[in-house]
Amino acid sequence: MSHPTRNNEPRFPDGPAPDPAGSHFERRIRSFQPRRSRVTTSQGEALERLWGTWGLDIDGRRVLDLGAMFDGRPVVLEIGFGMGEATAQMAADDRDTGILAVDVHTPGQGNLLGLAERAGLDNVRVANGDAIILLREMLAPDSLDGMRVYFPDPWPKKRHHKRRLIQAEFLTLAATRLKPGAVLHCATDWEEYAEQMLEVLDAHPDFENTVPGGGYAPRPAFRPLTRFEGQGLDKGHVVHDLLFARRPHA
């Protein structure tokens, strides 16, 4: 196991960088909080062993060749995957689709890599860093066959609502990277955030609701019920799914 970070040196020399984009891009309001909590031995070993093959740092310095990365599979971008259990399950259930999974949570990155290795999943890649830089600088137009944003940070305090990911500016950027007809799938158990998501998606000219008559969608069978979600449901939380397709180009 590697030692903890000292003088900004990475804890895992062959793993994810602490700040992959550095100061190369303007600072903006971040929709996430970097979390470098305790990494278990198995997670750390997975990072050291597998990052060079299945991981990438979001440095903003190149455009990714998704076709080469995923052997020609259609590719879905997943923003925020927690500990990776649901991501691994979706990858196992649909091995013909590539999943580019982005997060800043080091234990989760290691956990997902380990899950992918144990299940023999070659259709998962783990990206470390800011999803906005990934979308803006490293993905080609019309390169994604789908996008998933499950249970993003709700930033519940009103003064922090500007940090929420699902806003008009983000949707405009996301639309440029999604192929026409590709679906953006959001899910949240935070009622007020769900209402905001629905409002901003309904109002955006690049997206249309896949639900006849509008509104929220039933949870699709391909989205696993996570442990976190199950705990919320046990407490009476209501989970809302939103599935909006990228409109065809004008």
Q: Which residues are catalytic?
A: 153
Query: Is the sign of the CA dihedral 80, 86, 91, 94 positive or negative?
Result: negative
Is the CB of residue 69 less than 8 Å from the CB of residue 139?
A: no
Strands 178-188, 240-246: pairing kind: antiparallel
Closest by CA to 73, choosing from 93, 53, 47, 99, is 99
Structure-token match 């639900």, residue found: 211
Instruction: Give the tokens for residue 126.
Output: 């783990």
For 146, other C-beta atoms within 10 Å of its C-beta total: 21
The SS3 of residue 49 is helix
The SS3 of residue 161 is helix
